Chains A and B, each alone.
Chain A
Amino acid sequence: MTPGRRIDPMQDQELHALVDGEMSAAEKVALIDRLQRDHYRRTALCELRNLKEMVRTAYEEVPVPASRPAPDDEPEQGRGWLAAVAAVVIASVATLFAAGPELLPGSSERFVLLDPDGKGARPAQAGDEEMRIVFHVSGDDPEKSDEILREVEDMLATYGEKGRKLRIEIVAHGKGLAMLRQELSTQKEKIAELSRRFPNLTFVACMNTVKRLRVEEGVIVHLLPEVIPIYSGVAHVVKRQQEGWIYIQV
């Protein structure tokens, strides 16, 4: 490489791979560590993250038309299979989401980083040496949730041992909310343990998703006691990026 000339970091495929969740936990940690010392690439990472989010959001609300009947040459799969699928889905939802009365357990003791609108109570400041990472969980794959918790635990432990400052927020919305729901979470004990061990770790739930589940599917959500509810998960992660947090989509 010619000294003094830098490749446009937007073309840096390592950054794209990070943004797209294509790296192993170890690779992510190593890259994030390097990015701490490279403002140029960090800014590019932030732009890539924003671009990805803009594209995703731009198509998120494209209205999906109702299913057409299945083709005529598939009589046994006609309208019946759609109805059958719908019935199975509805039954599963009803079974999985049968819920009790409580909506939001109290969690104010961990309410140190956020206010109810998701505006940081302590906004990040440029030049502050604390590393800040926001993990955005939007899928309900338990393996990925397990992986992210392992990764976060490793990072928090490593930074703690080295005496380096680190703040992590795990923001769940959409299907990702499953990770933080009493009814569905497969990591309740782990989340409780991590919350006890690391006060610099915060689990955040999107109330838009909670409301949508209630209005559209009649599901009353129970969040884990460690979780902090905020108005909009997406708005929150966008705000964190604008504040200079490193954004990782899970």
Chain B
Amino acid sequence: MFKFGRKRRLCSAFETMRPDLYRIAWSWCHDDAQAEDLVQDTCVKALEKLDQLRNPERLRPWVLRIMANLHRDRYRGRRDIVTLSAHDEELAATDPGPAEAAERNATVVMVHRAIASLGDDQRKVLTLVDVGGFSYAEVAEALEIPIGTVMSRLSRARVRLRRELMAEKEEITGLRCVK
């Protein structure tokens, strides 16, 4: 009974996860088409390898591991791409309206650039934790690295991210504490 319903359940769970997966994939690629392909291929691969999922409660890190491996294999050796995506160009070109909205759009584009400039290892850990909301244990399981490595990559990524953001624009609203 479990076997027959398993694929359907995975599809259902996958559909629930898809928006988060897409955002994570997008934060790795900063490209709409690449992110969509990555998520779609992850879905196909997950269905193919479903028998290997021993504990259904570990679905999230398991699917992430598939996506991370696909991304690594596909873009291995390629330099990290640091470009404005179509989405960012759209944001930058959008009639900014109130100054607050313009500033927000500029900050979003700036964060995308800063994340894109990180090394792949640091970027993956940072985006899985901050964009995907995954726990350290889940990230460790997904990327097949020790939790200590997750923590050290994360702290280094944030230090570098702060430096990149500071360098690009010192006066970002909200980056500094008032107190």
Contacts and interface: CB of A to CB of B under 8 A. Distances in A.
B60 interface: no
Contacts of A65: 22, 32, 36
B47 A56 contact: no
A16 B161 CA distance: 14
B174 A238 contact: yes
Interface size class of B (residues with CB under 8 A): 35 or more
Interface-central residue, B36, B127, B177, by most chain A CB under 10 Å: B177
B11 A85 contact: yes
Interface residues of A, number: 48
A47 B165 CA distance: 12
Nearest to B18: A67
Interface stretch (B51-59, B61-69, B70-78, B128-136): B128-136
B177 A77 contact: no
A13 B178 contact: no
Interface in A189-221: none
B43 to A, nearest CB: 8
B154 interface: yes
Given A10-B155, A43-B177, A241-B177, A59 B26 contact: yes
A120 interface: no
Interface string A41-71: 0010011101110111111111111011011
B155 A16 contact: yes
B135 A51 contact: no
Contacts of B175: 47, 50-51, 54
Contacts of B154: 16, 20
A128 to B, nearest CB: 10
Contact of A11 (B127, B155, B161, B178): B155
Given A47-B162, A51-B162, A58-B111, A16 B11 contact: no
A104 B111 CA distance: 36
A1 interface: no
Interface string B1-43: 0000001100110011011001100110000100010001001
A243 B130 contact: no
Contacts of A48: 158
Contacts of A63: 87
Contacts of B115: 55, 58
B92 to A, nearest CB: 13
Contacts of A22: 135-136
Interface of A: 8, 10-13, 16-17, 20-22, 43, 46-48, 50-52, 54-65, 67-68, 70-71, 74, 77, 81-82, 84-85, 88, 124, 126, 139, 238, 241-244
18 contacts: A10-B159, A11-B155, A13-B155, A16-B155, A20-B154, A46-B177, A50-B174, A51-B161, A51-B162, A58-B108, A59-B127, A61-B108, A62-B22, A67-B15, A77-B11, A81-B11, A244-B177, A244-B178
Given A50-B177, A54-B175, 9 more contacts: A11-B156, A13-B152, A22-B136, A52-B158, A57-B108, A59-B26, A59-B127, A64-B23, A241-B177
Ordered nearest first, which 8 A-B pairs have the shortest CB separation?
A244-B179, A58-B111, A46-B177, A55-B130, A242-B178, A64-B19, A59-B131, A81-B11
